[in-house]
Amino acid sequence: GRGGAGSAPSSYASSSVVGAVKSFFGMGETDEGSNLTDSGSGGKGSPTNDPLLAARMRSLRFAGRDAESLDLFVRELESSGHDDAAYRNLKRSTVEALRSILRGGGGGGAGGGAEGASSSSVDDAMALLSDSERAGGTTPESYAAVAAVLIERGRRNEAADLCEAALYASPSDGRASSSSSSEGLALLAMEAIGGQKDRPGRMRALRNAADDAARIEGTEQGEWIRSRYWTLKGKLGTKDARLLMWWNDPVRSRDNELELALEHVRRCKAEGLRPKGGALRSIVRLTGHRRRRRRGGDGGGDDDASDDDGAWDEEDSEGRTPPRPVGAKAANGGVDPRSRDVAQILLAAGEARRTGLDGDPRFVDDVASALRSLGGNGECVSYVREAVVRAGA
């Protein structure tokens, strides 16, 4: 619940104070009456070096010493008067305290990583967040730290409520002051909302979250969604991401996504940027869907499954016309669609070398299957040979 401005945060304070707090380098115990933070605090009402304290807490947390990190925060909070001004002066440190609590450093016992966040730890973090919010000491990172763990623990309703309340707040209250931080909060809100499959008006809520993030960034909702499509697809799934783009036709939506993927990859190549893995995968997989529709198939199937759709080979005895060699001209003298499709797949395969997909067995298999299904047997052999050489390098 929400505590009063002067009530001590006993629920999230470490039970061991004397002798538990070490120096920054962990060499020797700190005397009970000394200034534990060395952060410029001169007692109640004095300004605190919040960035320095936060950095020290973060170092302890990275070393797995969450209880000690939390002790630093509690001592500084108490020495600063434990009033509203103290919370407002400790915004960064509060974020570190929340992360330490969620790792199990307060109340829930020692633990590392998200799995250390017990129900009591999450509740303790919510209590600290509530106290800080009441005092005006929260930031988007404060809410994001708690919401991420709520999502991991399946408490999506609470995560969505928390993110939406913070996201739609006025920038003047300090909760939505940074566009980059608010974007992260918006993505968390959308991830939480996306998991609520039975929520009434779910798509409207997703658009509202996107709209608020776009407003903070100073752009339009549609452009914000389009520029983050691959991130949204990873968080929400293919169906919801496409609906956010107003791609409502199941067949046409694949072509829409393929065009967006090609646009993204070509732009990244021209600007020397690293493309999104999702865009590269889409080029490889969706090119096959488009080819099947041209051939008379339904183009169905799972976009996220391997696109092994029946290569043309010696065992194909159904009387279909074998493909023209890659590079051949179409009957009307234009560009052969197969040559274009092979070029698109090779573009994705080449750009994947600058990402974590290079050498991924599933991606290599997708590329090889797609090339062979298009009649690009020579290109397939060359690609697989080079992939094997790189994997053994």
Domains identified in the chain and CATH numbers: 10-207 (1.25.40), 250-306+327-392 (no CATH)
Q: Percent of the chain having pLDDT more than 70?
A: 68
> Which range among 173-182, 213-222, 253-262, 307-316 has the greatest average pLDDT?
253-262
Any residues with CB less than 8 A from the CB of 253 and at least 6 apart, and which? 242, 245, 247
Q: Which amino acid, residue 154?
A: G
What pLDDT, on a 0 to 100 scale, did the predictor assign at position 392?
Answer: 77
- Distance between start and end Cα atoms, the chain: 57
Encoded tokens for 371: 């090339």
For residue 87, CA distances in Å to 16, 102, 133 come to 22, 19, 9
In angstroms, the CA 87 to CA 137 distance is 5
pLDDT in tens, 353-370: 999 898 899 999 999 999
Half-sphere exposure of 136 (CA within 13 A, CB side): 10
pTM of the predicted model as reported, rounded to 2 decimal places: 0.65
Q: Which amino acid, residue 306?
A: S
pLDDT exceeds 50 at position 14: no
Tell the residue number behind the tokens 């797995």, with chain if given.
64
Task: Give the 3-state secondary structure of the chain.
Answer: CCCCCCCCCHHHCCCCCCCCCECCCCCCECCCCCCCCCCCCCCCCCCCCHHHHHHHHHHHHHCCCHHHHHHHHHHHHHHCCCCHHHHHHCHHHHHHHHHHHHCCCCCCCCCCCHHHCCHHHHHHHHHHHHHHHHHCCCCHHHHHHHHHHHHHCCCHHHHHHHHHHHHCCCHHHCCCCCHHHHHHHHHHHHHHHHCCCCCCCHHHHHHHHHHHHHHHHCCCHHHHHHHCHHHHHHHHCHHHHHHHCCCCCHHHHHHHHHHHHHHHHHHHHHHCCCCCHHHHHHHHHHHHHHHHHHHCCCCCCCCCCCCCCCCCCCCCCCCCCCCCCCCCCCCCCCCCHHHHHHHHHHHHHHHHHHCCCCCCHHHHHHHHHHHHHCCCHHHHHHHHHHHHHHHHC
What pLDDT, on a 0 to 100 scale, did the predictor assign at position 95?
Answer: 92
Higher pLDDT: 14 or 273? It is 273
Encoded tokens for 240: 């919801």
Average pLDDT over residues 97-109: 69
What pLDDT, on a 0 to 100 scale, did the predictor assign at position 292?
Answer: 56
In angstroms, the CA 22 to CA 166 distance is 35
Yes or no: say if 48 and 82 are a contact pair by the CB < 8 Å rule.
Answer: no
Average pLDDT over residues 182-199: 86
What pLDDT, on a 0 to 100 scale, did the predictor assign at position 2?
Answer: 35
